[in-house]
Every structure is written in structure tokens, then in C-alpha cells.
Structure 1
Amino acid sequence: MRALRFRLALWGWRSLSDLIFLVLFRVWPYRRNIVLLNMARCFPTRSEKEIRQMVTAYFRHLADLIVEPLMIGGVARGSLGKLVSYENTALIERLLREKKHIVLMASHYGSWEYLLSLPLQTDCQVLAAYSPVSNKWINSRLLKLRGRFGAVMIPKSEWYRRTLGWNAESSAIFVTIADQRPPESGKYYLNFMNRKTFVQSGAARIAVQRDCAVVYLDVTRRERNAYDFRFRLITAQARELGEAGIMEHYYKALENTIERQPEFWLWSHNRWKFHSRQGQKPVNALKLL
């Protein structure tokens, strides 16, 4: 009976996603020019036909992405494995046995909302940042969905202070979506997807300050609405690698993930909004704090 309920719910979610796709792609084209431009510049060797196929595939994924938080928030725990699986959890277990705090560097790839099921994979506390919405009822509902599996949700404005000041006796995992565009062009950049890209180094800064272990979350879409998450070690001692080294390793790993299945990254985000200005430095000029 549970399997039948899951299949019926999946049919409903996918039908809603198909309708959203028609709206976003046909009726009200949502940032389609930004998506097309981003993909064309990041994949200069691909033909126009290939780029347009990628754009269509991306909008199908974007529609799925809108309904997937409802899916992960409503699915029975016994059916959770049909939506998400975790690989190389032994790495996390080893780092926790070594009493290490972990900065988990995720990205806008696949469905990052699924990552809020991580507390079911470990006994330690899992902290994640969120951006509050102005409507209090909606904000409360989102927090309930996102905290359903035990994640400690922290407002984005308090994230840096709370993570640096986290003094729990047991180790914790700090989940960061690390490919955020900085609020302005900023000082630091690197080469990412064939483009000069300004970066935020907040996740690396936290890791260095606390000398955390740093782990990259590699994501593969197994099938529609289902993802495999794999943990890959960047460094067990952040201070040895430093901010610059952490960011370089992270963005190289993310680039490899995107090139494997390009359509599942958040291409409608205006990631390359800012232009160069005098006095900016490459990421390898970042200094250890």
C-alpha cells in the first residue's frame, strides 16, 4: 500500500512539474536569455542545437526543482531511499570519530533541498542556513519542511556568527551552498566554466577559522526526481590547505560535476552579473586569516 501511495504521489508531483515547465518555458519564458547566454559562454565548443537542447532540459529540471522540496518534505521515511541515496558515508563517520567538525560544501546542483535529509545518516548535529521569507506563515511552513529530519536551520544573516561560535561538545556538520554569487563584484575571482568568476569564500573562511574537515558533495541524478549524493574529501585540516586551496579544489570539483550533467546546475541564476574592475585579485591571492 505504501508503494502504491508513493507512485500516486509521484505521478501527481510530476504532473504538476510538467505544467510548471509549460508555463516557464512556453507561456512566460523565465530568464531564458540568461540561461541561453550562460550555457553558450560556458560551452563554447558546443553547437547551437546542443545548447538549445541543454536549455530545454534545464527548464524541465527547473520545474522539477520547484516541486522537489514538497516531495522530500512529504515522503514517508520508508520511501526516502527512492528519492535520495548517500554514498561514502564512511568518510563522514571517520571524520566524526576523529572529533572533527565538517564543512560540507554543496552547490546549486541537483536538488539541494534533499540534503536536509542528511541528519538521518549521522548522529551528529547538522546545521544549514536559510533565507527567511517575508510572509510569516510561508516561512513557518518552509522551516517545518526543512527541519523535518532534524536539521538545525539558521537564518543566513546569523550563519557566520553562529557557526564560528558553535561550541557543542560533539562534532557538527555545517552545510554550505558554496557557489553563491557575492553581493557585489568583490575582491577575489577564479577561472570557472571558462569564465572569470567572482566568488564568496565564507565557507572556506569558516573552515579555516575552526580548522574543520572540508568535504565536497558530488551529486548525480539517478533518474527524474532522484539523486545520489557522494561525499568527497577536500581536506581533513582546513588550515593546512588554506582558503585559496579550498576554493580552488571546490570549484574544480563543481566544474567536473556540471560537465558530467550540465542541465542540473542553476543556470537561470545571473552568476556572472559583475564585471572586472581594477584592483581585484585572483583567488590564489587569498590570505589565510
Structure 2
Amino acid sequence: MSPAAARSYPWYYAPLNWLLLGLAHLPLGALYVVADGLYFLLAHGLRYRSRVVRENLRNSFPEKSEAEIQRISRAFYRHFTQLVVEILKLAAIQPAELARRARWVNPELMAGALARQRPVITLGSHMGNWEWILGSGALALPGVMAGVYKPFKNPFVEAFMRRVRTRLGAEAVPMLATLRYLVQHRRGGRNISLLTDQAAGPEDRPYWTTFLHQDTGFYSSAERLAAQFDCAVLYVGIRRLRRGYYEIKFTEMPDAAAVAAAPPGAFPITEAFARQLERDIQASPEQYLWTHRRWKHKRR
């Protein structure tokens, strides 16, 4: 971590910084041993958010038996603990290793959109390893990758995660700076990535739809940004093929023209995103972030 970044948090976090960087320099095989220990600690010892995980799974898959829910829950904790060490590895991973482990299926969709001198919005989710999308995209895709994120309250975590997210060439944009970033780079060949599956509160003007059998509010900022800046829109999906290896694929979404042609109250981009994400979760339910309190808000 650079001296400038180190000065952004209190000195007593320095030992933790050295510990995390030391772990990040271990081979992934060794880190997966750490992940195995974390699995037993979180899933069977601390039972980390186990009530939230099982409630989310039962509500999302009412057709599944309790035995199936338990199986998905265990597989999720395996995935989750491997995800933790994979994100940590981003602090030291070599570009060639990340490129080998995260394969882009159709990068030409991004290249075609940027060639038309339009900003591109990519809509992602807490599926698979979303942090590897940003780093590997900065290596594999044309233009500049920029990920929108919600800043952490803890100053050390904020500084460390910014380093993790930007060390391979991507840019990290705080959520409240999204509009200003697009204004500054509307013709600059930028791809700005939004995690659109977070729980949108009443103040966020959510779009409500049925998602995984539940009334669900989604952030609708993609609609407004696409219309305002004439953006192309792509869904980015990632799935784990086996431990440490992922496949990343774009799917074309409705764009600014579709938003302009939609009737009042329709949100074609967000609705298409919800349906695509729903299909991905149903195909690999253990790879979604079930510890997230996705349905904490209710429609007014």
C-alpha cells in the first residue's frame, strides 16, 4: 500500500496491513487451506448469519425441500470462504495468473459498444466473484474499467479495498460521485460498473418487481444514467467453473433508446437485469451472496 494510502488510516492498523499483504502473497492453494478453516469456523462454529442465509434460501426456493436448502447452505459457505481469500489475493496476484483464472467469453460486446464512442454501463451483482470482474476486466477489455462502490466506514478497510480494486488499472468511484464521473468522462471510452442487486431503500426510488418469488426493490439508477448519457448497457455474469476459475459473460440489455420508448413507470433495463440475474442464481444458487439482507425493505 502506498504511503499516501497508509496515511489515510490510523497507525495502529499497520500490523493488520502487513499481515493481510503477507497472506496475499501466498499461493492460492495455500489460501484455500485457510478458506477451509474459515468454512468450519463460520458455518459450524460461529454460524455466521446462518439464520439470514436459510431464511433467504427458503423464501427464494419455496419448492425445495429442507434437505436441499441445507445442502445449498453448506455449498454457499464453501463458496463464501473461498471468495474471501480470492478477494484478498487481488492485493498481490500477478496479471497473468488472474487472466488465466478469469476467462471472458465475449469481450467483443464491450469493444463494439466503446467503438461507437458511447459510455457503457455494466450491471453486475453479488454473484460468483464480482471483485475479480473489475480487476480482470481492466486487463482484458478495451477502455477504462470503473467500479462504483459504497465507501466503507472503517478507514483502514476503505484504504485497503481501494488498493485491491485499483492496483491492476481499474478505477474506483464512490457511489455519490457516479454522476460527476460520467459527466467528466462521457466521451472517454469508459465502462462504469454498477452492482444493481443491492437493497434499495425508499429514498433510492426503487423499481419493484417479483424476484425469486419475493417482492423486491432494485436500484433504478441505470435507467436514468443510460437516458441522460446515451449509454449502452451490458449485463455481466460470472460463474465459478471450479475452485479458483471463473467464466465471465456479457449479455446485451435494453439501452437508452429502449428507456426513451418505454411507457411511464416502466423500467426496461432494471427488469431485464432482474430476470437475467434470477436465471443465473437459479442455475448456481450456492454462488450468490445469501448473507446479504437483500429483502430488508418493503414496498410502501
TM class, shorter-length: 0.7 to 0.9
- SS class of match (2:298): coil
Which residue matches 1:232?
Answer: 251
- SS class of match (1:64): helix
CA 169–22 in structure 1, closer or farther in 2 if over 3 Å, else same: same
1:246 CA drift (Å): 0.4
Which residue matches 1:251?
Answer: 274
CA 170–276 in structure 1, closer or farther in 2 if over 3 Å, else same: closer
Which residue matches 1:280?
Answer: none
Which residue matches 2:178?
Answer: 159
Deviations 1:139-193 (A, max 9, x none): 3232122101111111222223333x23354321011101111134855310101
- SS class of match (2:90): helix
What is the rounded CA distance, in whole Å, between the counterparts of 1:42 and 1:134 in structure 2?
A: 30
State the TM-score, normalizing by the size of structure 2. Answer: 0.84
What is the rounded CA distance, in whole Å, between the counterparts of 2:106 and 2:142 in structure 1?
A: 16
Which residue matches 1:199?
Answer: 218
Seq. identity, %:
28
The one of 175, 200, 205 equivalent to 1:182 is 200
- RMSD over equivalenced CA pairs, Å: 2.1
> 1:128–1:174: 8 Å Cα contact kept in structure 2?
yes
What is the rounded CA distance, in whole Å, between the counterparts of 2:272 and 2:187 in structure 1?
A: 29
> 2:207–2:270: 8 Å Cα contact kept in structure 1?
no
Which residue matches 2:17?
Answer: none
> 2:281–2:288: 8 Å Cα contact kept in structure 1?
yes
- SS class of match (2:42): helix
1:241 CA drift (Å): 5.8
- SS class of match (1:270): coil
1:70 CA drift (Å): 1.6
Comparing 75-84 and 135-144, the one that deviates more: 135-144
2:102 is the counterpart of 1:84: yes
> 2:240–2:247: 8 Å Cα contact kept in structure 1?
yes
Which residue matches 1:281?
Answer: none
> 1:124–1:171: 8 Å Cα contact kept in structure 2?
yes
What is the rounded CA distance, in whole Å, between the counterparts of 1:96 and 1:252 in structure 2?
A: 25
1:236 CA drift (Å): 4.6
What is the rounded CA distance, in whole Å, between the counterparts of 2:230 and 2:271 in structure 1?
A: 17
> 1:235–1:241: 8 Å Cα contact kept in structure 2?
no
State the TM-score, normalizing by the size of structure 1. Answer: 0.87
What is the rounded CA distance, in whole Å, between the counterparts of 2:185 and 2:218 in structure 1?
A: 28
The one of 251, 272, 275 equivalent to 2:295 is 272
Deviations 1:94-131 (A, max 9, x none): 11111121100010101111012212123312211233
Which residue matches 2:227?
Answer: 208
What is the rounded CA distance, in whole Å, between the counterparts of 2:285 and 2:275 in structure 1?
A: 14
> 1:39–1:267: 8 Å Cα contact kept in structure 2?
yes
What is the rounded CA distance, in whole Å, between the counterparts of 2:202 and 2:188 in structure 1?
A: 36
Comparing 143-152 and 129-138, the one that deviates more: 129-138
What is the rounded CA distance, in whole Å, between the counterparts of 1:241 and 1:92 in structure 2?
A: 24
What is the rounded CA distance, in whole Å, between the counterparts of 2:206 and 2:77 in structure 1?
A: 32
Deviations 1:186-245 (A, max 9, x none): 553101011111111112221121120000012221111221100111135454465600
CA 71–221 in structure 1, closer or farther in 2 if over 3 Å, else same: same
What is the rounded CA distance, in whole Å, between the counterparts of 1:72 and 1:59 in structure 2?
A: 20
Which residue matches 1:58?
Answer: 76
Deviations 1:61-86 (A, max 9, x none): 11112111122332212212332111
